[in-house]
Amino acid sequence: MSDPDAADANRPRNELVPAGGDVDDGTRGGAAYWLLKSTLSPVVKAIFRPKVEGLEHVPVDGPAIIASNHLSVADWLFTPIALKRRITYVAKSDYFTGSGLKGFLQRGFFSGTGQVPIDRSGGRASEAALAAGAQVLRRGELFGIFPEGTRSPDGRLYKGRTGIARLALTTGAPVVPAGVIGTDKIAPKDRHFGKVHSPTVRFGPPLDLTAFVGRAHDRGALRAATDQVMQAIRALTGQVYVDEYAPRTFIEPAS
């Protein structure tokens, strides 16, 4: 089995420069993002009453990586609502190609807000995601990433993939840890619908990764920096930590 940490460390240095035209230039989803946010936020806040803590730790301008645990598809909704700035994520391409009402709504949301589709079936998915993130950060914007690489199958916090560290060390963008709590009750992984619940989105102080500067291709440094990010997330959520990668496969809810 290949080692994802080794793959991250051994990629060429220019890999984080995406091919031109593949990533939103910051204008394609801007108007739709703020329109959806201004429309959805009052409704979502009235129904779910989300709690937001530590917002002062998010820079008011300039690039930053928001690194969060990933419990539910609802994380895509509650974290952007909590923030005062626009945030861009990469999302699996399935969200842009689904059928039926669910597919229509997902496609409209992710495409309309300029989120970046990534085909996770190929071996270069991680490279594409990091390239997209680098371009967003170089525009001075917020980029959201889930270091676990997928939703937690059981509510625990799993080992982070080292792309988060390489992105931070390559771009110089600060990493702000974030913890979401309770979104898995709203949109459980094994069911289409959950229950009305008040989730919490909690931000921590930007992490000090200066010990790893200049070591973006040092496998040990990437691992250590990523572990530091994951422990900061764990401190925010109180989750049980599992020192292994989360499985990417799970049983989809019946349609």
Reported as a single tens digit per residue, the pLDDT across 152-209 is 999 999 999 999 999 999 999 999 999 999 999 999 877 766 789 999 999 999 999 9
* Beta bridge partners of residue 52, listed in sequence order: 201
* Beta bridge partners of residue 178, listed in sequence order: 68, 203
Helix%, strand%, coil% for the chain, nearest 5 = 40, 15, 45
Residue 160 sits in a domain whose CATH number is 3.40.1130.10
- 83-126 pLDDT, tens digit per residue, is 999 999 988 778 778 788 878 877 777 776 668 777 765 557 77
> Domain for residue 51, yes or no?
no
Mean pLDDT, residues 206-229 taken together:
97
- 42-72 pLDDT, tens digit per residue, is 999 999 999 999 999 999 999 999 999 999 9
Q: What is the DSSP letter of 159?
A: P
> Domain for residue 93, yes or no?
yes
> Domain for residue 252, yes or no?
no
Does pTM surpass 0.75?
A: yes
> Domain for residue 254, yes or no?
no
**What is the count of structural domains for the chain?**
1
> Domain for residue 96, yes or no?
yes
Q: Answer for the pair 201, 233: CB distance below 8 angstroms, yes or no.
A: no
> Domain for residue 178, yes or no?
yes
- Between strands 90-92 and 51-53, the pairing is unpaired
> What is the predicted pLDDT for the residue at 102?
76
- Between strands 200-203 and 175-181, the pairing is antiparallel
Mean pLDDT, residues 197-225 taken together:
97
In the numeric block, the tokens 């989803």 are attached to 29
What is the Cα–Cα distance from 66 to 86, expressed in whole angstroms?
11
Q: What is the DSSP letter of 109?
A: H
What is the Cα–Cα distance from 229 to 65, expressed in whole angstroms?
11
Q: Answer for the pair 165, 16: CB distance below 8 angstroms, yes or no.
A: no
> Domain for residue 218, yes or no?
yes
Indicate the SS3 state at residue 8: helix
> Domain for residue 208, yes or no?
yes
Domain span holding position 143: 24-42+61-242
Q: Is 245 exposed, middle or buried (0-12, 13-18, 19+ CB in 10 A)?
A: middle
